[in-house]
Chains A and B, each alone.
Chain A
Amino acid sequence: MRQRWPFLIIAFFLFSLTLLASLSVGAKPVPFETVFLTFTSFDTNDYAHAIVWYQRWPRALIAVYVGAVMACAGCVLQGLTRNPLSSPTTLGINSGAAMFVVIASFVFGMNEQAQGYMALAGALFGFFSCLLVVRLVGLSQDPRRLVLILSGALIGMLYLSAANALLLSDPELRSNFLGWLTGNLNHAYAGRLFDYWWIGASALALLFGLARPLTLIVIGEEKAASAGVNVVFVCSLAFMAVAVSAGSAVAICGPLGFVGLIVPHIVRPFVGTSFIFSLPACAVTGATACLLADFVARFAFAPYVVHTGVILDLVGGLVFAWIVKRYYLARNAGSWT
């Protein structure tokens, strides 16, 4: 794994470039030096400064937060479940959070802050119902742990359809929610980012801290245990961190899917499976991917603007198919450790 450091450096470089581009390019182009000036000497009467500071910067921060959190979550999930298809989307986390927010708003009429907390609860609920189905179906002869993905997909379908059905009960409120429900980066929800960033940050810090024991567990549970790792404790801590942080991301911008599925697969060939390197690499690459997806959504179909979530779902589905092809269908299918 000699490419580790070069990859990290290049990834970070690309990340800064996309971040800068997303601050500078938009419906009203802002030159680079104005972007810098915004941060060094903010002029309240300059409209370009206001756009960068009040609209693009929060939007970029949301993208970075969601991308980093989702990618790390996906990386950890794929490692711990030993399954290349795991991600917050495929394990019911996103759809659980989305359903809870819709229930909070449509059934109980909660305000936006309460909806955010419901999203956190929903993420855990979605993940645990996925685990419940797995446990109940209880396939002992399932070497590739696919039942987890299947029950996740089922749970996801069920919860999202429930959320959509609930939306039908109020056509006006529905149009306010539709954008959010497909996953959209909108700086109008930056308030939630300022409310929840600490959740994602502490979850990421925890995962980074657990990187070594987690890597040992992925290599082999017995080995890890003999090295003094409390396997059950570390695993449940990691799962909790993943579910809660993914839930906070959903609360901010809706169920933005598949960053968590794709990014670990981009990163792994370069940095290997050790979490010590792959987590930071995932965080940076995930943030870049999210910024890019946002970019594509805004400009690729001009003059139309599509929601970021729709783009990611489309790309995610195709990548999913590719992963299946690669790991499950090829004659000498790629092995998974």
Chain B
Amino acid sequence: MRLAIQFAIVLMLAIGPALASDRLVVDDAGRKVQVPQAPKRIVVLHEAALGVPIAELGIAPVGSYGRDDQGASLLTVDFYKIVLAGSAPKPLPRGIGAIGNMDLERLRALSPDLIIGTEHNVDRARQLSKIAPVYLQNSSTGRVRGNESQEALSRLLKRTKEFTALKRSYAQRVKTVRDALPHNPNGKTYLGIFITDQINLIGEMSGLVQAFQDLGYTRLDVSGIGAIKGFGSALLVPISPEVFASLNPDLLVMMNSYGKPQREEAHIRQNLDRIIPGWARFLKPARDGRIIFLDSAKVTTPSFASANHTLDAVRAWASHQK
């Protein structure tokens, strides 16, 4: 009995202070999570979808899946450096083991106070909860649009002030770019294309989508023209190259997959030449110069930085038009 009381006291002493400064939130997977008032040591399980938006809000994650112990990226693309450029976290977040081989001991050594994953990490949540509270944030098309996940994260991390500030300067930029456009974008359509070894329509979750939406464009409705649906795939929707050339949005946005290091305009053209030889002759937006080439790595994260990169590209295109 005495032992039990002692144990209870020790237990209360241990978690007492934690309770005082924690708050109970419900994450997107419906789990109840004790989150610290102001998390300082965050580990993210997805660099592009979570790491970049959080780093932009001013909290440098201490750990990020897909990097090595020194913080160098193990992937083709280092999203922090490419998207955030000068304001990338310094030092860069450290890794938690190789991709596909997450190392719990490495993760714990970073002593995180919050682990943030996407809804797809639900299988790992139980193991990771032993190290720190695990919050799962919806991050894929169909569940969130544009930059919605960044806004949700800003509320979770008590960074709404920073979010509003970013939004204000972004709105300013939207206005200047809108004024520089050769046409009034209201009622005009755009379409984002992502090129792998086939042609894909991009999903709704990215700074790119946010930027075009805020400029006033609407996404071209492709439901009637034989766009191929994958079984439930919403991130990239493959579309038959045969109908592709007959598409005619007011603005066509094209990018190469970020699985490859070459993502400039010349390479996008080269890649298209392979899949649809002669596209430049048949695609109406191509004939009329209504194509914007983008670097997929820069514009596909749900962050203002990505939206701003998109705005820059639109503006460069607009200045070329006049």
Contact = CB atoms under 8 A, between A and B. Distances in A.
Interface in A106-151: none
Contacts of B282: 47, 50
Given A45-B281, A47-B282, A54-B278, A172 B242 contact: no
Interface stretch (A183-191, A213-221, A226-234): A183-191
A50 B198 CA distance: 17
A26 interface: yes
Nearest to B241: A55
Which secondary structure characterizes the binding site on chain A? Answer: helix
Nearest to A179: B197
A175 B100 contact: no
Nearest to A178: B196
Contact of B76 (A45, A170, A179, A303): A170
A54 B275 CA distance: 9
B76 A304 contact: no
Interface string B228-254: 111100001010111101100000000
A51 interface: yes
Given A54-B277, A170-B99, A171-B99, A188 B198 contact: yes
A305 to B, nearest CB: 5
Given A170-B259, A305-B228, A189 B197 contact: yes
A180 interface: yes
A168 interface: yes
B229 A47 contact: no
Given A170-B76, A172-B76, A172-B258, A55 B242 contact: yes
Interface in A180-237: 180, 186-189, 191
Nearest to A49: B278
Interface in B189-247: 196-198, 226, 228-231, 236, 238, 240-243, 245-246
Interface string A292-309: 000000000001110000
Contacts of A305: 228, 238, 240
A171 B277 CA distance: 28
A173 interface: yes
Contacts of A28: 242-243, 246
Interface string B273-294: 0111110011000000000000
B82 interface: no
A27 interface: yes
Contacts of B18: none
Contacts of B229: 303-304
Contacts of B240: 26-27, 305
A180 B197 CA distance: 9
A171 B49 CA distance: 14
Interface string B63-81: 0000000000001110000
Given A180-B197, A304-B230, A304-B231, A27 B259 contact: no
B98 interface: yes
Contacts, number: 82
Chain A, interface size category, equals 20 to 34
B118 interface: no
A253 to B, nearest CB: 11
Interface in A7-35: 26-28
Interface in A270-315: 303-305
B257 interface: yes
B100 A27 contact: no
A168 B242 contact: no
Contacts of B75: 170-172
A304 B243 CA distance: 15
Contacts of B77: 172
Contacts of B226: 27, 303
Contacts of B230: 304
A169 to B, nearest CB: 5
A44 interface: yes
A176 B277 contact: no
Contacts of B281: 44-45, 50
B99 A168 contact: yes
Nearest to B273: A54
Contacts of A191: 274
A304 B227 CA distance: 9
Contacts of A174: 259
Interface string A32-48: 00000000000011010
B259 A188 contact: no
A176 B243 contact: no
Nearest to B244: A27
A156 to B, nearest CB: 22
B76 A173 contact: yes
Contacts of A179: 196-198
A303 B225 CA distance: 11
A176 B99 contact: no
A169 B198 contact: no
B224 to A, nearest CB: 11
A205 to B, nearest CB: 30
Interface in A232-289: none
Contacts of B278: 44, 50, 54
A13 B90 CA distance: 69
A27 B76 contact: no
A47 B246 contact: yes
B27 to A, nearest CB: 22
Q: 6 closest A-B pairs (Cβ-Cβ)? A: A168-B100, A172-B259, A27-B240, A54-B277, A27-B242, A173-B259
16 contacts: A27-B226, A45-B281, A50-B282, A54-B276, A55-B241, A55-B242, A165-B100, A169-B100, A172-B257, A175-B196, A175-B257, A176-B196, A180-B197, A303-B229, A305-B228, A305-B240
Given A27-B240, A168-B100, A171-B99, 7 more contacts: A27-B243, A45-B281, A50-B278, A169-B100, A170-B99, A171-B75, A187-B275
Interface of A: 26-28, 44-45, 47, 50-51, 54-55, 165, 168-176, 179-180, 186-189, 191, 303-305
